[in-house]
Structure 1
Amino acid sequence: MSTAVGSDSEVKAPRTMTRMRWAIIWLAFVGLSINYLDRSSLSVALPFMGEDFHLTATQQGMIFAAFFWAYDVCQLAAGWYVDKVGPRRSFTIAALWWSVCTMATSFARGFGSLFAVRFLLGVGESPAPSTSAKVVATWFPKSERAFATSIWDSGSRVGAVIALPIVTLIISFTTWHGVFIIIGALGVVWAFAWWKIYRAPQDHPRVGTAELAHIESGGARGAGSDDADAAKLPWRSLFRYRTILSMMFGFFCLNSAIYFFITFFPSYLVSERGFDLLKLGMFGALPGVCAVACGWLGGFAADRAVRRGHSVTRVRKTQIAGGLVGGSVIMFAAVVPEAWMALALLSLAYSSLTVAATGIWSLPADVAPSSKHVGSIGGIQNFASNLAGIFTPLVIGVLVDSTGSYVAPLAVIGAVALLGAANYLFVMGRVEPLKVKEPLALQH
């Protein structure tokens, strides 16, 4: 039986209610920040490693790609794994794995060993986003889900932004070897903190009865809320739902735009807008900083709309489609005459895409047929989204080489963002838990 969105338990919580759920999600934010710091560290440190490795540009590209090949391929299994063992174990093991691989990078001696540790790093980091989505589903009612998602999701942007100053600072005091030892050790410390602190709400000693009631009555996806038939739905059956297929395609469209900022954005500012190293350092982080702030504001606004009685379907579709439409302004960045205009448009685009991402990562908890499918759905849509990490840089590179500018690639990215918006508006159905289509006995 569904719980009314605007119920008193969601709108007004007792003053004595504990706030452990917010401590948990901020701890997840720190974990995601370390996760992205680890994966971004090599791109910053690699120029200082040249004397030891003598890598060609092609070899460097293959090493960077090794991470994404492993990360993407493992997404499907990672989501299933998170549902199987739970967030406490999955996040702890994943953090220890990626931290050890990060530290092992300091002992690499050539192309082969560096390729291997990056590949294994991708395997270790793959459960992180699905685990975070599972944490939100377990700990937060519907009326707080978007803002909680915006918190952990912003860790990906924070980790990438702080990589440049942190890595260069460590290198200035030690060597490039010290970079991977130090930031790898951070992950180990965080893993022990997560294992020590995290429990399900029902089992956590610092969760009061008022907070637990607030979580459960507000629509959190705990095991106690599961329908028996829905909980038994096989993982492979998820691909039979139009909602799931639409989520996969839509997230691919979103990441097709976001991966521009992760790959070619600095090169665009240097080659097309004439930024030198100083300008790149001063202004290059601006879109990322704006994206973090707007992601939080977008999540807060979405939750406020739900608390005011708007349907989750309307709120999520408005948030996601609106963010993708806003992200499509990236197509105009290449044609405006002034560099500051381009940077403003790119900041607007990245911020809008981040608002959409907050809604997209709220969907697994919204549509999962049971609590045992939240991580699986997160892994499924993230698998599709990271295919963009393989194809988008290739398409951008080919178009830049063939046309001599970024006009064509940014136009294509903007068009794909609009296609994604149309997908969420007109293809994806209602945002509600998926129903079992037929008796489970007939599915075997």
Structure 2
Amino acid sequence: MTGRISKLPLRWWIIGLVTLGTILNYLARSTLSVAAPTLKEEFSMSTEDYSWVVLAFQASYTVMQTVAGTVLDALGTRLGFFLFAVGWALANMAHAMATGWQSLAFFRALLGGTEAAAIPAGAKTVSQWFPPRERPLATSLFQMGTSVGNMIAPPLVAFCILAWNWQAAFIVTGALSLAWAGLWWWGYRDPGAHPKLTEAERAVIVSGQSEDVSGKPATRKDVLKSRSFWAIAVPRFLSEPAWQTFNFFIPLYLVAVWKLDLKSIALWAWLPFLAADFGSLAAGLLPPWLMKRGASLLSSRKITMTLGALCMVGPACIGLATSPGVAIALFCVGGFAHQMLNGALITLCADAFDSRTVGTASGMAGTAAWVGGMLFTLLIGQSADQFGYNPLFVALAALDLVAAVVLWGLLRSDGGRRTQS
């Protein structure tokens, strides 16, 4: 790796490495959702049984988000992210040994605990390597990895199942993550220790700190006491159920409502995650555009999040769909909307907290988010078979709109300062 390739600064290659890791992280976790129809038949699982398997992942991930963020702040991004990546790769490959929904749930719990480091690691990398005006785009790039991983999963996992068996799908996706862990260990260093970082680029990163929000919480106690943390954590709690529903239940929805087979799922189910990529890109490009027109740094993030929440009205209308194509189109609106609003919320962690506590703050906010996702999964498991999915999609949109109101209510200003880009 060189300091500049085709005049691209090193920090953008670093975020590209994080993005690749995020892609493989989400590819690994999405393997189950694509294989779910096959595994439900293989293990004679009901939707409620499957919801408990998903819940095992969510519960472990929820607890470990806070732990992972603290570990990253303690060990450093390079070593901490490497250890977690090796862990999730091996846990994903272990799914091939499952013999029923109970053992499948056990391996999902292992996967959830180790995958929890991805978003805190990305947020910490952004805070260390990028000045504030570049953070929305940097965050959107690694966040695009979440949707790209979900987008790749349907065709890749379906191919593995049809060509070999369902066990192969988990082994292949886990092996890819294991290879990335080695690449991360070889290619990443913090800015202060990277031998290929030029002095000119180091000056850009350091000088940009003068544009930052002042008075950042610098200890874990400060984080929990800060209004900024709850302004991020509560909206993430309310908005995360939408993304987890898209992740874990789109294939089951297509089978239950539209009677699609595995080949049809491979053809359709990746499209909402392609749309989500554009939502991530919007989350990166809109805030700088708003700041150039006089919006403060924090206001630019809040406006972006609110526009995403308003777009969630699209998936609320899935009950009106007249074909699987229309349903997928509305899921695409939802994927775009969620990644737009979520990108703004994740960027706020890098904006509002000291680099020493970004991992901790992001992890604790992630825990809040996954508590929301976990509770909604319980609701799906208890009600989807009896009442259908349509009321659930309406509820997701309502939660995101409430999240926007909470964000504006709790995060009111950044000292009246205007940050120019």
TM-score by length of 1: 0.83
Q: Contact conserved, 2:236 with 2:368, CA < 8 A, in 1?
A: yes
- Stretch moving more, 35-44 or 85-94: 35-44
Give the SS at the match of 1:137.
helix
- Give me the CA root mean square deviation: 3.1
Matching residue within 377, 380, 402 for 1:419:
402
Q: Contact conserved, 2:279 with 2:338, CA < 8 A, in 1?
A: no
Q: Contact conserved, 2:232 with 2:349, CA < 8 A, in 1?
A: no
Corresponding residue of 1:262: 247
What is the rounded CA distance, in whole Å, between the counterparts of 1:82 and 1:356 in structure 2?
25
How far 1:44 sits from its partner (Å)?
Answer: 3.0
Question: Does 2:346 correspond to 1:346?
Answer: no
Give the SS at the match of 1:201.
coil
What is the rounded CA distance, in whole Å, between the counterparts of 2:86 and 2:329 in structure 1?
39
How far 1:277 sits from its partner (Å)?
Answer: 5.4
Matching residue within 12, 24, 31 for 1:22:
12
Matching residue within 255, 273, 298 for 1:288:
273
Matching residue within 187, 192, 202 for 2:192:
202
What is the rounded CA distance, in whole Å, between the counterparts of 1:160 and 1:260 in structure 2?
12
What is the rounded CA distance, in whole Å, between the counterparts of 2:159 and 2:6 in structure 1?
44
Q: Contact conserved, 2:316 with 2:397, CA < 8 A, in 1?
A: yes
How far 1:181 sits from its partner (Å)?
Answer: 2.7
Matching residue within 76, 92, 104 for 1:86:
76
What is the rounded CA distance, in whole Å, between the counterparts of 2:102 and 2:384 in structure 1?
30
What is the rounded CA distance, in whole Å, between the counterparts of 1:50 and 1:271 in structure 2?
12
Corresponding residue of 2:320: 335
* Percent identity between the two aligned chains: 30
Corresponding residue of 2:107: 117
How far 1:53 sits from its partner (Å)?
Answer: 5.1
Q: Contact conserved, 1:324 with 1:417, CA < 8 A, in 2?
A: yes
Q: How does 1:348-363 map to 2 (within 5 A)?
A: 348-363=333-348
Give the SS at the match of 1:204.
coil
Matching residue within 50, 71, 74 for 2:61:
71
Q: Contact conserved, 2:139 with 2:343, CA < 8 A, in 1?
A: yes
Q: Show CA shifts across 1:212-250 (max 9, x none).
A: 11111112999xx998x954x3x1342222221221110
Corresponding residue of 1:246: 231
How far 1:179 sits from its partner (Å)?
Answer: 2.7
Q: How does 1:138-153 map to 2 (within 5 A)?
A: 138-153=128-143
Corresponding residue of 1:372: 356
How far 1:138 sits from its partner (Å)?
Answer: 0.6
Corresponding residue of 1:436: none
Q: Show CA shifts across 1:128-159 (max 9, x none).
A: 11011000111111111111111111111111
Corresponding residue of 1:442: none
- Stretch moving more, 299-308 or 238-247: 299-308
Q: What amino acid does structure 2 have at the position aligned with 1:419?
A: V
| Corresponding residue pairs, total | 413
How far 1:201 sits from its partner (Å)?
Answer: 1.6
Give the SS at the match of 1:378.
helix
Q: Contact conserved, 1:138 with 1:221, CA < 8 A, in 2?
A: no
Matching residue within 396, 408, 412 for 1:429:
412
What is the rounded CA distance, in whole Å, between the counterparts of 1:64 and 1:115 in structure 2?
7
Corresponding residue of 1:316: 301
How far 1:341 sits from its partner (Å)?
Answer: 4.6
Alpha carbons of 1:276 and 1:40: their partners in 2 closer, same or farther (altered >3 Å)? closer
Question: Does 2:113 correspond to 1:128?
Answer: no
Unaligned runs of 5+ in 2: 416-421
Corresponding residue of 1:214: 204
Give the SS at the match of 1:207.
coil
How far 1:347 sits from its partner (Å)?
Answer: 2.0
Larger Rg: 1
Corresponding residue of 2:91: 101
Matching residue within 361, 367, 391 for 1:383:
367
Give the SS at the match of 2:320.
coil
How far 1:413 sits from its partner (Å)?
Answer: 2.0
Give the SS at the match of 2:360.
helix
Unaligned runs of 5+ in 1: 1-13, 433-444
